A = this chain, B = another copy of it.
Amino acid sequence: MLTNIRSDRVRSVRSLSRRSVRERTGRFVVDGPQGVREAIRYAAERVDDLYVTSVALERHDVIVQSALEAGVRVHETDDAVLEAMSDTESPQGLLAVVETRTSTLDEVLASSPRLVVLLTSVRDPGNAGTVVRGADAFGADAVLLTDGSVDVHSPKVVRSTAGSLFHLPVVTGLDVDVTLDALAAHGIRTFAADGVGETLLPDVDVSGPHAWVLGNEAWGLPAEVRGRCSDVVRVPISERVESLNLAMAATICLATSAGATRRS
């Protein structure tokens, strides 16, 4: 059982809360049973180590068993070690160190995607994570993020995705112009979701391959990006409301694409 909170191992796991360390080591932390379970189900070959407290070992024995069967190194720790490793205030007793793997835009395009999300300059971890979760829930084929977006492997984003990070390809560090060109070249229509849009969501034809393009929480999409999209689409809302938040808007657009809201 690991009990020394000042060990090199604990320090090294804890340091993965820093983006620079994640980028240097190509590793990130997944905290809590839901994320760990999905990491083992969908990406066991990338899970280096699983740390589990005695209580979690009993409560989540199915997860731990599947980790062992997948050849993951499992370490029992006391509560203090798990707390020291985690960046949350109340970790849930299970924490995995996972190898980062992102896809490339070419890989995504080669798979003939029908539904894609492109996040440009999205900075809030909760928003980014919720969009990844929503993209997964509504069957999107990939989430693309431009350079200047939040790091999808930061602990807060990983938690907000609730395991969805392991379900669909995520591409990071993209140039927005190059990406819009590539989507267009592959016959994927690009719908900028923005409160200034003239086209209302119910009027959009979501039957063909398309991408939802979302901008920063505060300033939305720059005019030049909107201008390069196939259409600029607005979710119709009450005029006394200034805007929807980013995650809400993305969720509604994705649910509409999936036909989850109303039969056409």
Contacts and interface: CB of A to CB of B under 8 A. Distances in A.
A128 to B, nearest CB: 14
Interface string A214-249: 000000000000000000000111101110110110
Interface stretch (A45-53, A101-109, A255-263): A255-263
Interface centre among A136, A241, A244, by most chain B C-beta atoms within 10 angstroms, is A241
Contact of A247 (B237, B240, B248, B260): B248
Contact of A262 (B138, B237, B242, B262): B262
Interface residues of A, number: 38
Given A240-B136, A245-B130, A201 B260 contact: yes
B245 A133 contact: yes
A115 to B, nearest CB: 11
Given A134-B248, A248-B251, A252-B255, A260 B235 contact: yes
Contacts of A251: 244, 248, 251-252
B260 A130 contact: no
Interface centre among A167, A201, A251, A255, by most chain B C-beta atoms within 10 angstroms, is A255
Interface centre among A162, A237, A261, by most chain B C-beta atoms within 10 angstroms, is A261
Contact of A241 (B130, B137, B203, B262): B137
A139 interface: yes
A27 B166 CA distance: 46
A6 B134 CA distance: 46
A167 B241 contact: yes
Nearest to A204: B262
A264 interface: yes
A252 B241 contact: no
B242 A34 contact: yes
Contacts of A259: 202, 262
Given A252-B251, A252-B255, A255-B235, A134 B244 contact: yes
A164 interface: yes
A251 B241 CA distance: 14
